[in-house]
Amino acid sequence: MTDRPVLVDSHCHLDFPDFEGEVEHLLDRAAKAGVTRMVTICTRLSALAPVQALADAHAPIFFAAGTHPMSAAKEPLVSVEELTALMAHPKFVGIGETGLDYHYTADSAEVQKKSLAIHIEAARQTKLPLIIHARDADDDMADILSTEMRNGAFTCVMHCFSSTPALARVALELGFYLSMSGIATFKKSQELRDIFAAAPLDRVLVETDSPYLAPTPYRGKRNEPAYTAHTAAVGADIFGLPLEDFARATTENFDRLFWRASGAAHG
Q: Is 2 part of any domain? A: no
Q: Is 154 part of any domain? A: yes
User: What percent of the chain shows pLDDT beyond 90?
Assistant: 96
- pLDDT by residue (tens digit) across 107-154? 999 999 999 999 999 999 999 999 999 999 999 999 999 999 999 999
CATH number for the domain harbouring residue 175: 3.20.20.140
| pTM recorded for the entire structure | 0.96
Q: Is 25 part of any domain? A: yes
Mean pLDDT along residues 158-171: 97
Residue 265 pLDDT grade (very low, low, confident, very high; cuts 50, 70, 90): very low
- The whole-number pLDDT of residue 4 equals 87
- The whole-number pLDDT of residue 263 equals 66
Residue 1 pLDDT grade (very low, low, confident, very high; cuts 50, 70, 90): very low
Residue 100 pLDDT grade (very low, low, confident, very high; cuts 50, 70, 90): very high
- The whole-number pLDDT of residue 266 equals 42
Q: Is 63 part of any domain? A: yes
Q: In whole numbers, what is the pLDDT of the chain averaged over residues?
A: 96
Assess whether pLDDT exceeds 70 at residue 267: no
Mean pLDDT along residues 25-30: 97
Q: Is 92 part of any domain? A: yes
Into how many domains does the chain fold? 1
Q: Give the domain extent around 29.
A: 7-261
Whether 145 contacts 117, CB under 8 Å: no
- The whole-number pLDDT of residue 264 equals 52
Q: Is 1 part of any domain? A: no
- pLDDT by residue (tens digit) across 238-263? 999 999 999 999 999 999 999 999 96
- pLDDT by residue (tens digit) across 30-74? 999 999 999 999 999 999 999 999 999 999 999 999 999 999 999
Mean pLDDT along residues 86-91: 98
Total count of residues recorded for the chain: 267
- The whole-number pLDDT of residue 195 equals 98
Q: Is 266 part of any domain? A: no
Q: Is 158 part of any domain? A: yes
Largest CA distance in the chain: 49
Residue 194, Cβ neighbours under 10 Å: how many? 13
